[in-house]
Each structure stands twice: as C-alpha cells, then as structure tokens.
Amino acid sequence: MKYSTLKHLFILFFLFTFAKGYSQDSAYVRKTINQLTSKKFWGRGYTKDGMGKASDFLAAEYEKIGLLPIGKNYKQEFTYPVNTFPGKMFVEVNGKKLLPGKDFIVNNESPSLNKRIKLRKIDSVLYDGGPNLQVVLKDKLTWSVASEVSPTTRIEISRKFFKEKPDSIKVDIEHKFVSNFKAANVIGYVKGTKHPDSILMITAHYDHLGGMGAETFFPGANDNAAGVATLLSLAKYYAENPQPYSIGFICFAGEEAGLLGSRYFTENPLIFLGKIKFLINLDLVGTGESGMTVVNASIYPKAFSILNQVNQESGLISKINSRGKAANSDHYFFTEKGVPAFFFYTQGGIAAYHDVFDKPETLPLTEYNDLFRLIVNFNKIILNN
C-alpha cells in the first residue's frame, strides 16, 4: 500500500515535470483565448467598452509577464469613426422572430430603422422594403466594421437557417455613429542583452467586430484571440529567456476597421522603425490542419528559405504556403515603410470567419505548439543573418 502510493506520487511528479515544457504554454493559450472571447470583452469592439476592457487586460498581462512599457502604461491611443449597434436588434420575417448573428445580420453601414412592410421581390436573393430597407439572402453571413453610415438599412438573412421566402418584415434596429471612437495599441518589449537597439517585433490585432445589438457579440476566437494568446505566450517565453537583441510585442486595435492601429503606429512610431529588423504578424492562427501561409514570402525569399529550413529540421508544420504582398493584416504598413515582415495564418479545421460561430470551444489550435517552436527557432537565426 505504502509502496504503491509512493510509486504513484513518483509517477505523478514525473508527469508534472515533463508536462511543464510546451504543454503549459498550450494551457495558458487556451485560458487566454477563453478570457478574450468571454462576454466581458463583448467581441473586443465598439459597445459595452469591449475593446477598452481588452486593452486594460492586455496591459495588465504585459506587466505580469514583465515586459517593459512603450507608450503610457503600454498604450498608444488614437481615434477613428465607427458605426455601432448598442441597442435594439429586432427582425421578424413572415411573423417569425429571427436570431441576430445566426439567422440574420444587419449590414455594418446601416442606420437605425423601425418599420413594418411587405417585401417586393427583385430577384432570387434581393428583396425591396421601400426607400430605406433592403433584404438580401445569403449562404454565409459575414459581418464587419464600418466607418460610415449609408442611407439604407440592409438586412442579410441566412438561407441555411431561415429557409422560407421572405414576404413581410418587421424591423426595429438602433445604430449609433461614434465619430471619435477611442482605441489603443498595446506595446511592450523584452530588452536585448547585447544589442538592445535591434528589435524583433511580434504583432497581433486584439480587436474584433464587437457586438450587434444588446444581446449578441462576435467572440473572434480564431480572429484574433488565438494570435494574441500566441503573442502573449511568446512574450512569457522571451521574458524568461532574453535574447541578445530586443523582442517587441504590439497588440493592435482597429484592424477590423481597416488596419487602423498598425497604420497609426507606422505613421506615429514610438520607436524608430529602422530598429525593427524583422516583424512577424499573427492573425487567424488557431487552426493548421492544412498547414499555414506566409504573406510576403516571395518578397523576402532568404528569410522564407530560413523559415522552411527551420520547419523541416524540426518537423513542425505540415505545409507552408508562400504568398506575395497583401494588404490583409497589420504587417502591411510596416512592409510599405521598409520593415521586413511576414504575416502567418493557419488553414483548415473550421470555416467560421467573421460570424458568431468563431468560438473558443470549436477552435482546434492544431498547430499552436509547432508554430510557437517555429517562431522561436526562426527568430534565433533571422537576426544573425
């Protein structure tokens, strides 16, 4: 009895010690994704102070990790106009109430509308509801962020979840245009031991689409809680293992509104951009069943070949696809200013994108461990080349 208890304790001790390496990072990443996608942060957007709360959470996390601040309390503030939906979000079609996010979305440029009308069919997907209302049938609902308001309220209905032909509609929707929404990039770094003036920058946007009405928010697990959580786990690693050069971290705001945070940073840099020797941007990295893609791979062929070499040597990601220049995430304005940058995103597994189904519980995180090791090993080589 005594011996077997000891043996068990010994095995437990061993398992615990072994488990500490990479799996501890996965647990931290899972936990962080669950936090960032929770109701508290309301889709890290424009209502219920979701984005503001997320930026406070990140600054506190940076401090806990031990990053040095750049900016005031790690923050660089900026403003931009945005159309928001803080209140009523009621749509009834053929006498049946539709569920926001799942059955329908309101086009992000829409103004407030309170109306009940019989619809007029234009074609197989478009219905007219008078001068200020349009109804469109869609196979996939994809929401986004608008910085202006159109004269027409546009309701997009999912054909997958609402299979009837719309005949009559009742709409009661409230919008609020905010001309100077306050957002903040969150910036910190680990000082280099030999060449603190050379910086390797890791970036990920933490904003998402926010909420649509008072009851519905878009969690944005893959887009981009996964990228932010990966960035934070790398920050933890580098805080414990400082490198000869500095490692910087930026969580950008306003990406979904048009790369606004990264554009603002490159136009108002808090560090000289020439000091950034390489930048890795992470956006949509929570999958990986079909490998990953590197934007700017063909712009920086030498760095891309190092990346492939590192990947093959350690047997990490199943497939790394190469892409050219693309203005599709926060690396873009850095590249335009001459900062060498890669943007990594993973593929396969789930199809949720800019919808209410981008949830933490269905996010596979297939390649998290491999991606973490790929970035650490790549970074070791890239600054010496």
Is the N-terminal amide bond of 224 cis, ω within 30° of 0?
yes
Measured from the CB atom, the residue of 57 and 343 that comes closer to Zn ion is: 343
The set of residues, in sequence order, having a beta carbon less than 8 Å from that of 228 and lying 6+ positions away, is 32, 36, 58, 204, 205, 206, 251
User: Binding residues for Zn ion, per CB under 5 A?
Assistant: 223-224, 283
Q: Is the preceding peptide bond at 379 cis, omega within 30 degrees of 0?
A: no
CB of 153 to Zn ion, least distance (A): 26
Instruction: Output the smallest distance, CB 176 to Zn ion, in A.
Output: 24
Task: Determine how β-strand 176-190 pairs with β-strand 195-205.
Answer: unpaired
Taking the complex as a whole, the smallest distance from the CB of residue 86 to Zn ion amounts, in Å, to: 23
Of 22 and 353, nearer to Zn ion (C-beta) is 353
* 231 touches 251 (CB < 8 A): yes
Closest to Zn ion by CB, 46 vs 245, is: 46
Residue 238 contacts residue 376 (beta carbons within 8 Å): no
d(CA 37, CA 32): 9
Quote the CA–CA distance of 210 and 355 in Å, as a whole number: 11
**3 state SS of 297:** coil
* CA max distance for the chain: 82
Least CB distance from residue 269 to Zn ion, whole Å? Answer: 22
User: What is the sign of the dihedral through the CA atoms of 22, 26, 31 and 36?
Assistant: positive
Between 25 and 207, CB nearer to Zn ion: 207
For Zn ion, the closer of residues 103 and 355 by Cβ is 355
Closest distance of CB 283 from Zn ion, Å: 4
Residue whose Cβ sits closest to Zn ion? 223
- The CB density around residue 58, as the number of other CB atoms within 10 Å, is 27
Min dist. Cβ of residue 352 to Zn ion (A): 12
Q: Which is nearer to Zn ion, 41 or 127 (by Cβ)?
A: 41
Least distance between Zn ion and beta carbon 222 (Å): 8
* Closest distance of CB 339 from Zn ion, Å: 20
CB 343 within 8 A of CB 281: yes
Residue pair 247/378 in contact (Cβ under 8 Å)? The answer is: no
Compute CA distances 50 → 137, 143, 252, 366, whole Å: 30, 17, 14, 28
Nearest residue (CB) to Zn ion, 142 versus 309: 142
- Identity of the residue, 213 or 227, whose beta carbon is nearer to Zn ion in the bound complex: 227
Which of the 8 DSSP states describes residue 69? E
